[in-house]
Amino acid sequence: MKNAFVTGLILGIMSGTWLFIMRSFGYTSTGNHVRPIEYLSLLIPFCGVYFGVKTYREDDKEGEISFFEALFQSFRILLIGGLFACLAGIVYINYFDMASNLFAFSGRLFGGLALGVLICVGSAAALMNKPSKLD
């Protein structure tokens, strides 16, 4: 659980920092359209989940991990990172971007959740190396 918390915390801090960096460059979360530069934010959860599960596999599981173990670990990382990213989003909306629409921002969060699930499945499939049977 320590690996998931540390990796999730780093993931959440980086995602929250991304909000403020984008704001400093003049991009806000108002409106329903997504600017192409915002797609770079997908690298944060992808790298965080991938390297978090890889570290978990190498350090805690001695190099052997099944698909479901990797999937469960990636969900834990994403859940903890999402919690901290949501807290940063609340601070961002309430104190820095009050013109932002909560509906548009929550839509982005839901889209991030859906893509996060795909990232978890992809990372688990890429990092598994122990076959598991479903009986």
Residue 133 lies in a domain: no
Residue 134 pLDDT greater than 60, yes or no: no
Asked if residues 46 and 111 have their Cβ atoms less than 8 Å apart, the reply is: no
Dist. CA 19–CA 71, nearest whole Å: 27
Dist. CA 1–CA 7, nearest whole Å: 10
Q: Can you give the pLDDT at residue 43? A: 87
Domain count, the chain: 1
pLDDT tens, position by position, 29-60: 665 666 777 778 888 889 999 999 999 999 98
Both tokens of 87, joined, read 């807290």
pLDDT tens, position by position, 75-129: 999 999 988 888 888 887 777 766 566 666 677 777 778 888 899 999 999 988 8
pLDDT tens, position by position, 14-26: 988 888 888 777 7
Residue 134 lies in a domain: no
Beta-strand ranges (E) seen in 1-135 are none
Residue 109 lies in a domain: yes
Residue 32 lies in a domain: no
- For 110, the domain range is 2-26+40-127
